Amino acid sequence: MRIDIITIFPKMFEPVLGESILKRAQAAGKVKILVHDLRDHTLDKHRKVDDRPFGGGSGMVLCPEPVFKAVAAVKKSGSKVILLTPQGRKLDQSMAKRLAKQKHLIFVCGRYEGFDERIRALADEEVSIGDYILTGGELAAMVLTDVVSRLLPGVLGDKNSLNFESFEGNLLEYPQYTRPANFRSMEVPRVLLSGDHQKIECWRAQQALKRTREKRPDLLNNNNKKKGKSKWTK
């Protein structure tokens, strides 16, 4: 997959893309991520990307021209252009899975003070990472890059790490433990030490359901409404 990110703050991405799994995934050629400075698509010597809003009001508004140019410079047939904005559809794991099937994603980072409405015409989709206002779309683009990249084939070394994690079948993940079996008098559940894989699987399924009921009952409601029951809620 290729991801192009258009932003006025390209440096913000360096630490995130240059560490850990995203760094390895790029080095291994599983994903190619390119960050573009929107100012490279301006024509004036001040590299101006924003202007005062028509009709008055406070703050500056991102101009359409450099954004249209920046998108045109990277867009090919089959590219999907995504505008990061709090007005977009809220990101969840099923959206991440759908986007991970694309060949080429282009993320356009909006600014907190707003962008010219005509920029929306460029977008195939608008995505929000939650009901709160960030100072710009950059952090949202990083989140989206991360959630999509980790779903690409071969990015997570251990195939099993995708097998049962939170939000699979709309359930939260079961509790995990490692050594020592007794830590400051807190014991690991016995069943996990039993070596009985059927029992362990059953316990994990029950725990996942219990956790979801306690912490995120909304997921179970969504599950029943949208997709029918998951394999653990029969």
Binding site for ligand ADE (CB under 6 A): 84-86, 110, 112, 128-130, 132-134, 136-137, 140
Nearest distance from C-beta of residue 90 to ligand ADE, angstroms? 8
CB of 125 to ligand ADE, least distance (A): 12
Q: What backbone torsions phi and psi does residue 27 show, to the nearest 5 degrees?
A: -60, -35
Please state the closest distance from residue 83 (CB atom) to ligand ADE, in A.
8
Least Cβ distance, residue 132 to ligand ADE (angstroms):
6
Token representation of residue 226: 């949208």
Could you tell me the smallest distance in angstroms from the CB atom of residue 134 to ligand ADE?
Answer: 4
* Bond into 180 cis (ω within 30): yes
Position with the least CB separation from ligand ADE: 140
Nearer to ligand ADE, 62 or 140 (CB): 140
Residue 63 vs 208, nearer CB to ligand ADE: 63
- If the CB atoms of residues 89 and 190 are measured against ligand ADE, the closer one turns out to be 89
Query: Which one, 107 or 174, has the nearer CB to ligand ADE?
Result: 107
CA distance 198 to 123: 48
134 contacts 31 by C-beta, under 8 angstroms: no
Tally of CA atoms within 13 A in the half-sphere of 95 that contains its CB? 15
C-beta of residue 169 within 8 angstroms of C-beta of residue 231: yes
State how far the alpha carbon of 52 is from the alpha carbons of 23, 55, 87, in Å: 39, 9, 21
Closest CB to ligand ADE among residues 128, 212: 128
